[in-house]
């Protein structure tokens, strides 16, 4: 008899698909409920605001009594039954970027220095939040004040601005031990609006400091108190890997990791939660890349795109409208080299855009 799992959070499609591939009966509580999520789950509930999420989870648990509950972004600190993953107590420290900074410093990890007001240039970050969409480099008191107004005066911190390649490591943790499963190069949005927002990934990371990053990530994961799959963000320079943040849950890089390794990361996560780690990291069979696309102009999806599910994810329903600059969906590509993977991605982007416009 198949085990069942409820995946709950702001966005769950990547985890739900992984769990379904691993043979689980999957239910979802999700903000978006995209077409490729509802295609793989047994039942789902959508929510609008995060304060509705606990009630949606309660409803789904009462409906289906799942064997496990996995929480994703927005739900990490909620109390849920049969949790499969890091406890809220362990996760709480890493939901605060200031506390994460202290943790890195305590265990002797290379990390950008924390700055005081008046020290510039600085990377400004709200203490809470994920995805990097509110991060910004500020170079004066005036720029800091304008940014602080943009983030609605939320508590924040300033870090030394380290220029380099954004990257991350997917780790498995259990019982004070950890395995760095795979490295990733992150794709950021760029441009003038939310330039540091996460917009995709390439797995594995082709940067020369990737192996150094993986070593540091294993130390972080082992000492974090987290269990199961987790992600650690870095900035890579020519000479060092600087730790930036910890995600005590599945990461947005999940699908490129799975595509590059040819493995069910969800099953490895479940094994890790039971105290079982792989003896050694898997060897990537090539490079996988994913990019989140934004609408180049105001547009409407006129046709069913599920037939493109092998190259696009987070698939919108026919009739969905997007304003210029709004996130539409993600496109994937693969190849034996980074260049081949990027060429594959470009080809698939052209095909996906053509399908929307027809």
Interatomic CA distance for residues 294 and 201, integer angstroms:
15
CATH of 287-357, one of 3.90.1170, 1.10.3470, 1.10.287, 3.40.720: 3.90.1170
Predicted confidence at residue 225, as pLDDT, reads 97
**Where are the domains positioned within the chain?**
4-84, 99-160, 287-357
Q: Name the token pair of 21.
A: 């591939």
What CATH number should be reported for the domain whose range is 4-84? 3.40.50.20
Return the closest-CA partner of residue 277 out of 225, 213, 229: 229
Does domain 99-160 correspond to CATH entry 3.30.70? no
CA distances from 302 to 68, 80, 317, 348 (A): 37, 39, 9, 18
Contact 29, 9 (CB under 8 A): yes
Phi, psi angles (nearest 5°) of residue 242:
-95, 120
What percent of the chain lies above the pLDDT cut of 90? 88
Predicted confidence at residue 312, as pLDDT, reads 95
pLDDT digits (tens, 9 = 90+) for 338-349: 999 999 999 999
Say which DSSP state 215 is in.
H
Q: Name the token pair of 24.
A: 């689980």
Predicted confidence at residue 213, as pLDDT, reads 98
Return the closest-CA partner of residue 334 out of 271, 255, 249: 255
Global pTM reads 0.94
| Window from 58-67, 176-185, 277-286, 329-338 with minimum mean pLDDT | 277-286
Beta bridge partners of 43: 27
Which H or E run contains 307? none
Q: How far apart are the first and last CA of the chain?
A: 44
What percent of the chain lies above the pLDDT cut of 70? 99
Average pLDDT rounded to a whole number, residues 204-209: 97
pLDDT digits (tens, 9 = 90+) for 152-181: 999 999 999 999 999 999 999 999 999 999
pLDDT band at 132 (very low <50, low <70, confident <90, very high): confident
Predicted confidence at residue 356, as pLDDT, reads 80
Q: Is the dihedral of CA 7, 257, 38, 246 positive or negative?
A: positive
């Amino acid at each position: 008899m198949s085990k069942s799992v409820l995946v709950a959070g702001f966005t769950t499609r990547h985890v739900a698909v992984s769990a379904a591939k691993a043979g689980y009966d999957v239910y979802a509580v999700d903000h978006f409920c995209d077409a490729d999520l509802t295609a793989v789950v047994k039942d789902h509930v959508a929510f609008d605001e995060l304060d509705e999420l606990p009630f949606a989870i309660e409803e789904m648990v009462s409906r289906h009594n799942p064997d496990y509950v996995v929480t994703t972004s927005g739900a990490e600190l909620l109390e849920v039954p049969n949790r499969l993953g890091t406890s809220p107590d362990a996760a709480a420290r890493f939901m605060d970027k200031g506390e994460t900074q202290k943790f890195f410093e305590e265990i002797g990890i290379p990390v950008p220095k924390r700055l005081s007001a008046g020290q510039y240039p600085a990377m400004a970050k709200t203490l809470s939040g994920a995805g990097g969409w509110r991060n910004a480099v500020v170079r004066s008191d005036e720029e800091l004040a304008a940014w602080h107004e943009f983030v609605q005066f939320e508590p924040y911190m300033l870090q030394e601005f380290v220029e380099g390649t954004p990257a991350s490591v997917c780790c498995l943790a259990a019982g004070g031990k950890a395995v760095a499963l795979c490295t990733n190069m992150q794709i950021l949005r760029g441009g003038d609006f939310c330039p540091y927002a996460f917009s995709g990934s390439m797995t594995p990371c082709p940067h020369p400091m990737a192996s150094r990053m993986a070593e540091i990530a294993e130390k972080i994961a082992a000492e974090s108190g987290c269990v199961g799959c987790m992600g650690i963000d870095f900035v890579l320079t020519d000479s060092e890997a600087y730790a930036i943040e910890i995600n005590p849950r599945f990461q947005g890089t999940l699908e490129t990791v799975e595509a590059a390794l040819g493995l069910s990361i969800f099953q490895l996560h479940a094994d890790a939660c039971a105290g079982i780690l792989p003896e050694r990291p898997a060897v990537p069979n090539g490079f996988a890349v994913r990019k989140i696309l934004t609408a180049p102009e105001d547009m409407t999806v006129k046709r069913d795109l599920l037939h493109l599910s092998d190259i696009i994810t987070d698939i919108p329903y026919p009739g969905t409208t997007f304003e210029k600059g709004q996130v539409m969906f993600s496109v994937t590509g693969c190849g034996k080299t980074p260049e081949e993977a990027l060429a594959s991605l470009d080809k698939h982007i052209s095909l996906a855009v053509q399908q929307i416009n027809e």
